[in-house]
A and B are shown apart, each in its own frame.
Chain A
Amino acid sequence: MLELRNLSVEVSGKVILKDINFGVKKGEVMILFGPNGSGKTTLIKTIMGFGSYNIKEGKIIFKGKNMNKLPVEKRVRLGLGIMYQHPPKIRGVKLHQLAQFLCKDKKRIEDLANRLSLKEHLGRDLNLDFSGGEMKRSELFQIILQDPDLLLLDEPESGVDIENISIMGGVLNDYLKEEGKSALIITHTGYILDYIKAEKGWVMMDGKFWCAGEPKKMFESIKEAGYEKCKECDVQERIS
């Protein structure tokens, strides 16, 4: 579904991602771990095609097509979707406007809004005066309505209370399971792993993919020993 070949990316003249080789197959869910500033969000935003992320080398191939030069909306049309870590506030643009743009099925919008406790938010300005958890629920709401084939989720659970993580985790898991979607999920807290069945976890450090393995085990060892230990880890499948 997605393949990154020798991808190097620069932001404001500084190289952030270095020679990344990575792939996600149809139906696969991948987890991305890594310390702050390691390049995880840059990777997701580069895949989406946002303006400040310049590809210096390599290719992004999605469904067999080189996407390097495609504008964001064309990537979306091909089946990519993103859930932001920090979405912008947009005054006067209502959540229900975007919902109706993303999905023509009114009942589906209403059901999902109910399930994610967003009914009252539909008439409000996008992300304006939303709490951290409300923003995340609104992001999940939008990406599911958009129904992409590959979901790029940037810390879907950060800033969300335990009760809502369970609701969001349940909604996301049902969606991924039933629809057979692919996903690349960045997580710091690891809570999302309690709800999602993921094939593989990856650790990213200094703009490189460092190692891969069973996501829950990886997260446990990161929690115990920190990311520096990852460099020495021999249990995981080492990626060069």
Chain B
Amino acid sequence: MFKKELAKTVDSQDYENIASAGMDLSEKTRSASFLQQDNQILFYRSLLKDVDILSTQEALDKFPDVKEYFGKSFGLLERDFARDTEGGYFIRVKKGQTVKLPIQACLFLKRERFKQKVHNIIIIEEAARLYLITGCSASKAANEGFHLGISEFFVKKGGYLNFTMIHSWQKDISVRPISIALLEEEASFISNYICLKPVREIVMYPTAVLLGQGSRAIFNSLILSHPNTLQDIGSRVIFRAKNTQAEITSRAVSLGGKVIARGHLKTESDDIKAHLECRGLVISKRGTIHAIPELETDFREVNLSHEAAIGKISKEEIEYLCSRGLSKDQAQSVIVRGFMDVNILALPDLLKKEIRDLEEKTLKVSL
């Protein structure tokens, strides 16, 4: 049996790291919560009756239909996936339900050299709406840790899922998130990804497959790259139905690490509109940003575009702010903060404020 309160399930010394991944340990601003530490499920609770939240393994045992979803998205794309996962969360919002306050899920690495491997399943039933925030973080002791996170999202007809993932790892942790979202007719999937803290290596290429007419996907990401790190991060949208749309927007700032910013729009149908935007700022001489935008079609009735711009901060912008009385350092910091504008994320006001505060805290230390 779980403890009654989320805050009591974790060591107080880990509070700050967990909060830095966007978790509200008081649960006051959340509809439901889930917490896994290493391979142990420490807590889950839904404050709403129309929301299921539990571990994936328990969901597989409890609900017969969940077996149909497990691995389904990988099958559709003929991709294999790791079977040796332990835990992960299952969330289902029932038909027509709007979950007003966000649901939060935290995957936390506690032990040294632990390899956390989870498989998450998220189902948004017809016309249901959800804001989900997933925070991934690690304790100070979790040296040389590893995290594999498989996520399968199913957004049914007219459903809306706004998924925010905050990575707040430690500098020697390697991370492999693998996620696929399947969207039915008129469904929307919005992914907001934020990674501001140091991490050894992240390789991820989340994919949305637009299966139903009128569906749309949006991927936004804010990435801060620290020295001696690699972030190979992309977003891919596959269009399999007419009248579908997507937007991919990424902002990366390198303080000395390497960022590979990928993006791929692949049409398998007519009547598609999509745009990919990638902007990068290299602050340190040792920093690297490699943008790889890809647009692919065999169809004529499509409108795909991309925009990529990478460079250092322009001297003119710095001088402009200095001419208003800011020092060079202040001007650089204002420009980086502006570049990493949380307004590019599609977030409700509550989460926007939380993420702005987290970003402010991290940038203050990093710049």
B-binding residues in A (CB < 8 A): 48, 50-51, 71-73, 76-77, 81-82, 84, 87-88, 90-94, 97-98, 101-102, 125, 142, 146
Contacts and interface: CB of A to CB of B under 8 A. Distances in A.
Nearest to A142: B324
Contact of B323 (A76, A93, A97): A76
9 contacts: A50-B323, A71-B327, A71-B328, A72-B322, A92-B339, A93-B338, A98-B321, A102-B324, A146-B325
Given A88-B314, A88-B316, A90-B317, A72 B335 contact: no
B102 to A, nearest CB: 24
Nearest to A127: B320
B82 interface: no
B324 A125 contact: no
Contact of B319 (A50, A97, A146): A50
A90 B319 contact: no
Interface residues of B, number: 23
Contact of B325 (A76, A91, A97, A125): A76
A73 B328 CA distance: 8
Contacts of A98: 321, 324
B196 to A, nearest CB: 15
A8 to B, nearest CB: 22
A73 B331 CA distance: 10
Contacts of B337: 92-93
Overall SS of chain B's interface: helix
Contacts of B341: 91-92
Given A90-B338, A91-B341, A92-B338, A101 B324 contact: yes
B320 A51 contact: no
Interface of B: 279, 314-317, 319-328, 334-335, 337-341, 343
Nearest to B251: A92
Contacts of A50: 319, 323
Max chain A C-beta neighbours (<10 A), residue from B316, B325, B334, B341 = B325
B308 to A, nearest CB: 14
Given A51-B315, A71-B328, A90 B322 contact: no
B338 A87 contact: no
Given A90-B335, A97-B334, A98-B324, A51 B340 contact: no
Max chain A C-beta neighbours (<10 A), residue from B315, B316, B323, B327 = B323
A-B pairs, top 10 by smallest CB distance, nearest first, are A92-B338, A92-B341, A93-B338, A72-B322, A76-B325, A88-B316, A73-B322, A88-B317, A82-B323, A73-B327
Nearest to A92: B338
Nearest to A97: B334
Max chain A C-beta neighbours (<10 A), residue from B315, B319, B321, B328 = B319
Contacts of A125: 338
Contact of A91 (B322, B326, B338): B338
B157 to A, nearest CB: 36
B327 to A, nearest CB: 5
A234 B340 CA distance: 59
Contacts of A92: 335, 337-341, 343
A50 B317 CA distance: 11
A88 B335 CA distance: 12
B319 A91 contact: no
Nearest to B314: A88
Contacts of B339: 91-92
A203 B339 CA distance: 42
B222 to A, nearest CB: 11
A93 B336 CA distance: 9
B322 A88 contact: no
A102 B314 CA distance: 22
Given A92-B340, A93-B338, A77 B319 contact: no
B324 A76 contact: yes
B323 A101 contact: no
Max chain B C-beta neighbours (<10 A), residue from A71, A81, A93, A94 = A93
Contacts of A48: 323
Nearest to B330: A73
Given A72-B319, A91-B341, A146 B324 contact: yes
Given A91-B279, A91-B341, A92-B343, 14 more contacts: A50-B319, A50-B323, A71-B328, A76-B325, A84-B320, A88-B314, A90-B320, A90-B321, A90-B335, A91-B338, A92-B339, A92-B341, A94-B338, A101-B326
B325 A77 contact: yes
Nearest to A84: B320
A76 to B, nearest CB: 4
Contacts of B334: 93, 97
A97 to B, nearest CB: 7
Contacts of B326: 73, 101
Contacts of B338: 90-94, 125
Nearest to A143: B324
Contacts of A90: 317, 320-321, 335, 338
Given A93-B334, A93-B338, A87 B327 contact: no
A68 B246 CA distance: 53
B349 to A, nearest CB: 14
A176 B325 CA distance: 21
A73 B325 contact: yes
Contact of A72 (B317, B323, B340, B343): B323
